[in-house]
């Protein structure tokens, strides 16, 4: 079984922008509910179908398959719930880890989130200076939720994230 173990953070500054070239992503959800999703993505000229299970801690099952680009484009248009998530993704390498920074566009313009994938839940890592508040486990920051409640519809209380106190287990992995 494929496993995804990731942590999500808001981006606190633009110090990351010169470190990588952005890749254009369009993604939509055929199904999202009860923590499970079926997602279609178009990344440049590639189509991808992804099936994700419910999150347990910071882990979840994930299965990803290449699909024909024409099929992916048709699925985005005809099968996926609207709006489609549009973003630029930047892959930034820091201290042996790849950070994926998503700069959202269209209905989610203004939101920038960084994710780090880990090999196990207790793996330690260094946070770059441009990483801000951790939002792991806060559903409104999931892409599957952003298409249902886009960032441009958030009220000021939703935008003003209060400092989150990570669990002792999570805190021990950050340096």
Domain that holds residue 147: 3-171
- Active-site option among 29, 90, 141, 142: 29
Q: Which of 174 and 25 is assigned the larger pLDDT?
A: 25
* Residue 45 pLDDT level (bands cut at 50, 70, 90): very high
Q: Is the pLDDT of residue 37 over 80?
A: yes
CATH of the domain at 167: 2.40.320.10
- Predicted TM-score (pTM) of the model is 0.86
pLDDT tens string 59-82: 889 999 999 999 999 999 999 999
Examine the residue annotation and report whether 29 is marked as an active-site residue of this protein.
yes
pLDDT tens string 143-167: 989 989 999 999 888 777 644 444 3
Q: Is the dihedral of CA 90, 150, 71, 116 positive or negative?
A: positive
Average pLDDT of every residue of the chain: 89
Q: What is the pLDDT of residue 109?
A: 96
Q: What is the pLDDT of residue 54?
A: 87
Go through the chain and tell me how many residues it has. Answer: 175
Domain count, the chain: 1
Q: What is the pLDDT of residue 1?
A: 54
Nearest to 134 by CA among 7, 16, 21: 7
What CA–CA distances, in Å, run from 95 to 8, 107, 129, 173? 17, 33, 12, 14
Q: What is the pLDDT of residue 161?
A: 64
Distance CA 103, CA 90 (A): 8
């Amino acid at each position: 079984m494929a496993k995804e173990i990731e942590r999500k953070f808001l981006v606190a500054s633009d110090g990351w922008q010169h470190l990588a070239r952005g890749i254009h992503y369009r993604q939509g959800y055929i199904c999202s509910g009860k923590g499970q999703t079926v997602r279609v993505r178009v990344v440049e000229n590639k189509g991808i179908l992804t099936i994700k299970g419910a999150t347990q801690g910071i882990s979840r099952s994930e299965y990803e398959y290449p699909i024909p680009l024409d099929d992916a484009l048709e699925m985005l248009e005809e099968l996926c719930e609207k709006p489609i998530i549009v973003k630029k993704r930047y892959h930034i390498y820091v201290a042996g880890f790849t950070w994926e920074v998503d700069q959202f566009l269209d209905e989610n313009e203004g939101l920038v989130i960084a994710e780090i994938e880990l090999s196990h839940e207790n793996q330690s890592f260094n946070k770059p200076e441009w990483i801000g508040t951790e939002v792991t486990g806060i559903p409104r920051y999931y892409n599957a939720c952003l298409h249902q409640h886009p960032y441009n519809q958030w009220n000021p209380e939703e935008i003003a994230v209060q400092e989150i106190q990570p669990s002792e287990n999570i805190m021990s992995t950050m340096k």
